Every structure is written in structure tokens, then in C-alpha cells.
């Protein structure tokens, strides 16, 4: 196995502490969270107290001012434990950077410290019943009126949506201008007309609260406009490389975890008087999967290097997202097969990982959209 060179001793020490947190504060409760459909807010507060939320935010806004490798450690350890209920990554490394990069000083000081402590749980609302990967097709509107934006519309598939105290809402402030008429608004819990719908029942990721959100003439103060009016689409595009790389990072780590669980299982499971690992098919299949995951790991680590140098482009990040999420689904499915009937039992982590993995090929932009992005970077025409 190729030694990873990205992480310092400090990163490795932090990884040990995050792994202990997962073992003691997350894994013992995750099955209960799956049954109730959401993670206890107490877990968010404990994560904040342990420096696991918004670590890359500057210290003046409640973070640690750490480099992104610390956030990557958290992502990897969550994926290693298959703790898919935790919406920490979206909160810390999607929502918080939007506020840091495009927010006013007042917005940063109002929202980021409580996000870092876990007191405020954040979400971003892009997808709608009739607009998923096509953000230009959003129908939610925010029309300026008397010092506020009057927000109307609905969103669906919103991670952290049911718990959310703060939501970045993608809306049309100029409905006739297409992508050039999109803005980002900071909508807070308690605003009149802002309602949360049911927690959606999903095939996998059952502990992650995923909700519908409804906006009925919500008056959002002008002070809650994030960045410039009608600049939202540009902001969304600028943040995409990092967002898509996060999916690839999680996919590779979860695929490796699936191999590790399966390797341990086949060494113990007896069949026809010997262990399942004694069969050549088992060993060759695991060798194939491990090789592919190693290749993916090297590519993703190179993407991380480019990210740290601010050189990661959207097409390369899209390659990582599409390839690694496809590979994750393949690896987990093959590992279910090697578990036999037990691989289909919910009590085994491989069964949960199998159900949880499938959505990776859909969210963050479907893998078909990723291929469109890649072909455009190659100068190939399309619609």
C-alpha cells in the first residue's frame, strides 16, 4: 500500500481523537438515530466542543483557523465508521465557507461562532421538486419589497433541513434572468412563513435528517442577502470543486472500510470446512477491489494537493466525484456478495453501507452531469 504523505503528525493526532469520538459518541447511538430519523442535537454540541465543526474557519469567527486537511480527517473518519447520519461536512465545509467567502462582517460574526460550537445547525437549500441538478431551473422566488425579500417556494432533499436553524436558500431575485437572476438568502428558524415539512424516508442514510422546506411570503431582511444580488449562481459555481471533492473523499474512505470489514469477515466465516478467504475467488476479488480503491486514493490525494494550492478545477473535481462514487457502489456491492446472506442483514455494517452508498452518484450533481462538465472542458459540444 502506498503511504499517504498529506498528513503531518498533528493531523494524525487529530485523527486519533476524531476516531475515539466516533467510537464513543457516535457508533453506539447510530442505530437509534437511524430508527428515529435524525441525530440528537447533543451530538452536534459535543462535536463542536471537540473542535470537529468549522475547524477551518478563522479563530475570530469561532473556528480553529486550521487547514482543510483537518476537515478531511473528520470526513474520512465519519465515512470509515459509516456514520452517515452526521451532516457535519455540509455544515462545516459547504455552508460555513459560503458565509466566510461572501458574507458581510456582521453575518460572519452572527452565524459562524455558533455554527462552530454546534449551537446553530446549518443547511443549504438548492433542490426543488422540479429542479435537482439543474440549478438554473429553480422556481423559488425572492422579490424585493420595502427593505426585504419576499420569499416564496419550496425545497426538497435538504440535508440537516429538519434540524436547521439557518438555511442558505437559492432563489430567483430576477425570475426573467435565468442563472443571472439567482441570489443566496440566509433564512433563519422562526421567520414567519418558513415551515419545515416531513422528514423524508430514504432507502439509506436513515439517521440523516433530510427534509422538505416551505417558504410562504417569508420576509427576509436585506441584511440577510448573502453577497451580491443576482450573483448567487457564480458563487455556487466557484464552490463546486471543493464540494464535489468532498464526495470523492468520503466515497474512497467508505470503500476502503467495506474492504476492511469484508476481509475480516471472510477470514472468520466457515464454508465447506474452510474459511471463505481460502477460496481463490474471494482473494482475487478483494485484490481487485483493493487495487481499484488504491488507484482512486492516489488520484483523490492528488486532487487534495491541488485544492490546497488553490489549483483544483471543476472538471478534475467532477472526475473525482463521478469515478469514486461509482467505484464506491461497485466495491460495496461486491463486498455484500462476499458476505453471502449476512450481507443483506441490516445488523451488518456492509448492508447499511450498501444502502447508504447509492445516493453518492446522485447528489452534488448526478454523475451524468459530471460527465457533461468533463466533456465541456475537453472542448466537446453538447446541448
Q: How far apart are CA 78 and CA 347, in angstroms?
A: 18
Residues in the chain: 383
| 152 close to 172: Cβ distance less than 8 angstroms | no
Decide if pLDDT at 131 tops 80.
no
Q: What is the mean pLDDT of residues 80-101?
A: 97
Phi, psi of 83, deg, nearest 5:
-90, 65
| Rg of the chain taking only CA atoms, in angstroms | 21
Task: Please tell me the predicted confidence (pLDDT) of residue 133.
Answer: 64
3-state per-residue secondary structure call for the chain: CCCCCCCCHHHHHHHHHHHHHHHHHHHHHHHHHHHHCCCCHHHHHHHHHCCCCCCCCCHHHCCCCCCHHHHHHHHHHHHHCCCCCCCHHHHHHHHHHHHHHHCCHHHHHHHHHHHHHCCCCEEEECCECCECCCHHHCCCEEEEECCEEEEEEEEEEEECCCCCCEEEEEEECCCCCHHHHEEEEEEECCCCCEEEEEECCCCCCCCCCEEEEEEEEEEEEHHHEECCCCCHHHHHHHHHHHHHHHHHHHHHHHHHHHHHHHHHHHHHCEECCEEHHHCHHHHHHHHHHHHHHHHHHHHHHHHHHHHHCCCCCHHHHHHHHHHHHHHHHHHHHHHHHHHHHHHHCCCCHHHHHHHHHHHHHCCCCCHHHHHHHHHHHCCCCCC
| 34 close to 204: Cβ distance less than 8 angstroms | no
Model confidence at 53, in pLDDT bands (50, 70, 90)?
very high
Sequence-distant (≥ 6) Cβ neighbours of residue 179 within 8 angstroms:
135, 136, 233
| Cross-strand pairs, 183 | 171
268 is catalytic: no
| 160 close to 118: Cβ distance less than 8 angstroms | no
Give the residue with greater pLDDT, 57 vs 198.
57
Residue 59 grid cell: 479563530
Q: Which of 34, 93, 128, 243 is catalytic?
A: 243
Q: What is the pLDDT of residues 255-290, one digit of tens each?
A: 999 999 999 999 999 989 999 999 999 999 999 999
| 26 close to 80: Cβ distance less than 8 angstroms | no
Q: What is the mean pLDDT of residues 68-95?
A: 97
| 247 close to 363: Cβ distance less than 8 angstroms | yes
Which of 259, 263, 257 is closest to 275 using CA atoms?
263
Q: What is the pLDDT of residues 134-158, one digit of tens each?
A: 677 799 999 999 889 999 999 999 9
Q: What is the mean pLDDT of residues 202-214?
A: 96
Decide if pLDDT at 381 tops 90.
no
Q: What is the pLDDT of residues 16-48, one digit of tens each?
A: 999 999 999 999 999 999 999 999 999 999 999
Sequence-distant (≥ 6) Cβ neighbours of residue 124 within 8 angstroms:
90, 94, 95, 98, 158, 167, 168, 170
Q: How far apart are CA 294 and CA 274, in angstroms?
A: 29
Model confidence at 225, in pLDDT bands (50, 70, 90)?
very high
- What global pTM score does this model have? 0.94
Q: How far apart are CA 80 and CA 338, in angstroms?
A: 19
| 364 close to 357: Cβ distance less than 8 angstroms | no
Average pLDDT, the chain: 95
Amino acid at each position: 500500500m502506498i503511504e499517504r504523505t498529506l498528513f503531518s503528525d498533528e493531523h494524525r493526532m487529530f485523527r486519533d481523537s476524531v476516531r475515539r469520538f466516533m467510537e464513543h459518541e457516535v457508533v453506539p447511538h447510530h442505530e437509534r438515530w437511524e430508527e428515529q430519523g435524525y441525530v440528537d442535537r447533543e451530538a452536534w454540541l459535543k462535536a463542536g466542543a471537540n473542535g470537529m465543526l468549522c475547524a477551518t474557519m478563522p479563530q475570530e469567527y469561532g473556528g480553529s483557523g486550521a487547514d482543510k486537511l483537518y476537515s478531511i480527517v473528520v470526513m474520512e473518519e465519519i465515512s470509515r465508521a459509516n456514520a452517515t447520519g452526521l451532516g457535519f461536512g455540509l455544515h462545516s465545509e459547504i455552508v460555513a465557507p459560503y458565509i466566510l467567502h461572501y458574507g458581510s462582517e456582521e453575518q460572519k460574526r452572527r452565524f459562524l461562532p455558533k455554527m462552530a460550537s454546534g449551537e446553530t445547525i446549518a443547511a443549504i437549500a438548492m433542490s426543488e421538486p422540479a429542479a435537482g441538478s439543474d440549478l438554473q431551473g429553480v422556481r423559488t422566488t425572492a422579490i424585493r419589497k420595502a427593505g426585504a425579500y419576499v420569499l416564496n417556494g419550496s425545497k426538497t432533499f435538504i440535508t440537516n433541513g429538519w434540524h436547521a436553524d439557518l438555511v442558505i436558500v437559492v432563489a430567483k431575485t430576477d425570475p426573467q434572468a435565468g442563472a443571472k437572476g439567482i441570489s443566496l438568502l440566509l433564512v433563519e428558524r422562526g421567520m414567519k412563513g418558513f415551515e419545515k415539512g416531513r422528514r423524508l424516508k430514504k432507502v439509506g442514510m436513515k439517521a440523516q435528517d433530510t427534509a422538505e422546506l416551505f417558504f410562504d411570503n417569508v420576509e427576509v431582511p436585506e441584511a440577510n442577502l448573502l453577497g451580491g444580488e443576482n450573483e448567487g449562481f457564480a458563487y455556487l459555481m466557484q464552490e463546486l470543486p471543493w464540494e464535489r471533492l468532498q464526495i470523492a473523499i468520503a466515497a474512497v474512505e467508505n470503500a476502503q472500510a467495506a474492504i476492511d470489514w469484508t476481509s475480516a469477515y471472510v477470514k472468520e466465516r466457515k464454508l465447506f470446512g474452510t474459511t471463505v478467504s481460502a477460496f481463490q475467488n474471494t482473494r482475487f476479488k478483494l485484490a481487485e477491489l483493493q487495487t481499484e480503491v488504491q488507484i482512486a486514493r492516489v488520484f483523490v490525494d492528488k486532487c487534495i494537493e491541488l485544492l490546497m494550492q488553490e489549483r483544483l478545477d471543476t472538471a478534475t473535481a467532477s472526475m473525482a466525484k463521478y469515478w469514486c462514487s461509482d467505484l464506491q457502489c461497485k466495491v460495496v456491492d461486491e463486498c455484500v456478495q462476499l458476505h453471502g446472506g449476512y450481507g443483506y442483514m441490516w445488523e451488518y455494517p456492509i448492508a447499511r453501507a450498501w444502502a447508504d452508498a447509492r445516493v453518492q452518484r446522485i447528489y452534488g450533481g448526478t454523475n451524468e452531469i459530471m460527465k457533461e462538465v468533463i466533456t465541456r472542458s475537453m472542448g466537446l459540444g453538447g446541448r
